[in-house]
Amino acid sequence: MKLVTKNENKTLLMGGNFNTDTTITISYKVQSRPIEFIIDEDLTQDDLQPRANEFSLHSPNVSVSIDPEIILLADELRNKADSSINSLSNQLYQYVRDIPSAGQTILMSAKECLELQRCSDIGKSRLLAALFNANNIPARVVGGIILTEGTQSIHRWAEANIGGNWIPFDTYEGHFAQLPSNYLMIFTGDSSFVTSAGNNPPSFKIRVNLERTNHYPNYAILNIWELIDSDIIPLQPLLVLLLLPLGAYLVAIFKNVIGLDTYGVFLPVLIAFALMNMGVMPGLVFFTMIIGLIGILNIPLAKWEILHTPKIVILLTAVAIISLISIQFFFQTGWVKPSATLTFPMIILTIISESFARKIEEESFQEALFIYAQTIIVTLTCTWILSSDLLQNFFLTFPEALLIVAGMSLLLGKWIGLRLIEYDRFASIDKEVKSV
């Protein structure tokens, strides 16, 4: 590992004296893998040593031995568990996990996290370590990076020494006794990641660049992976471009073969891509809220006989306002990243909301809701299929497979049979014809 100043472009030694305007770059490559522990059910609380001395891993921010509230909570949670350490660990983990999340980089102690009942990743890791320590299980705070593309900040979680192993618990992201492969632990302890001898702490940025370990196959016709790896084409827009025809084909099967009705052909696919980026559950909540509120707003606009184009502008403005409110809500609750709402194309939300409201006017609320439910079924199916890494890698490696999708669409265009849901409708007529 070497340290290089951008100004002088030479190797430096750790601990040297640098000017205040010196920039130090540290770079290295890492291959990571997921880890998972199974806590032995035979380990019981009787194996733990009694709480008598100062905890060896105590820090002021964890505040175990000096904070009676944390010790009282630890005793209460221990009484809810059975005799196994696994059950106790679940009780401690779930309590901290259920505390609403705050901003990821907000500094707070274990006591502040407990009192505010709204914690950052630092606060949650400190509180969980404190609860473990208060139950005579040595615990510590560790820090590292979640390896996703782009600029990242330091993330912290807790580790508890159970059965001689340091077992990870990330209550902020929801990982019990396991970590996915994109976690990279850098340091242990409760201090800052970067410190200096001066009064002003140094600023730092962590940039993550993901590299593929597999090579591009020689028999592929188009070398798209090379364009992605060279940052010539961004990955996500390219995935949408390649998978959109397949998603539309899936919608066509639902409409022409199965017989489900949806709001548009491409809308369910575009919503599916948004759910893939935002998360299925928060995405559905956000999407349903938008549809409902805009659908209600469209009713008085229709009564006022507002022209179509100005009405779309008004609905688009309402979508923007609701999205801003949702961003603030997600920031306060920490449910998902606030920027996730921006993955939903605003014009798509406006169009489908306007279609929902128009269906209410022309037919009924029940019919509009019924078509919306069918749209959600199709959207979730597209989300599940298009989220497959195997499928995505296949189309990125062999984009010429889109010709197969076009060929299957030609065959589907010749479909003249009954839709599946129509067999039940025409079953009685078929019986009458056969009886005659």
Task: Give per-residue pLDDT as tens, 389-423.
Answer: 889 888 888 888 899 999 999 988 887 777 777 66
Which one, of 233, 216, 154, 220, lies nearest residue 187 by Cα? 154
- Mean of pLDDT over the chain: 77
Query: Tokens 């007529």 correspond to what residue?
Result: 429
* Residue 101 pLDDT > 90: no
Q: Residue-wise over 125-136: b if at least 16 C-beta within 10 A, else e? A: bbbbbbbbbbbb
Domain ranges of the chain: 1-30, 32-208, 224-428
What is the per-residue pLDDT across 52-70, written as a single tens digit (0 to 9) for each?
444 444 455 555 556 788 8
| Local structure of residue 257 (DSSP, 8 states) | I
CATH fold of 32-208 reads C8orf32 fold (3.10.620)
Average pLDDT score over residue span 1-24: 44
Predicted TM-score (pTM) of this structure: 0.55
Query: Tokens 């770059």 correspond to what residue?
Result: 25
The residues near 264 (Cβ < 8 Å, ≥ 6 apart) are: 351, 352, 355
User: What's phi and psi for 12, nearest 5 deg?
Assistant: -120, 160
Which one, of 90, 98, 181, 107, lies nearest residue 141 by Cα? 107
* Residue 282 pLDDT > 50: yes
Written as six digits, the tokens of 105 are 């980089």
pLDDT attached to residue 14: 44
List the end-to-end C-alpha distance of the chain, in Å, as a whole number.
Answer: 88
CA–CA separation, 313 and 13 (whole Å): 60
CA–CA separation, 356 and 295 (whole Å): 6
C-alpha of 32 from chain center: 20
What is the per-residue pLDDT across 284-322, written as a single tens digit (0 to 9) for each?
888 888 877 877 787 788 788 888 778 778 877 887 888
The residues near 299 (Cβ < 8 Å, ≥ 6 apart) are: 357, 360, 361
Percent of the chain topping pLDDT 90? 12
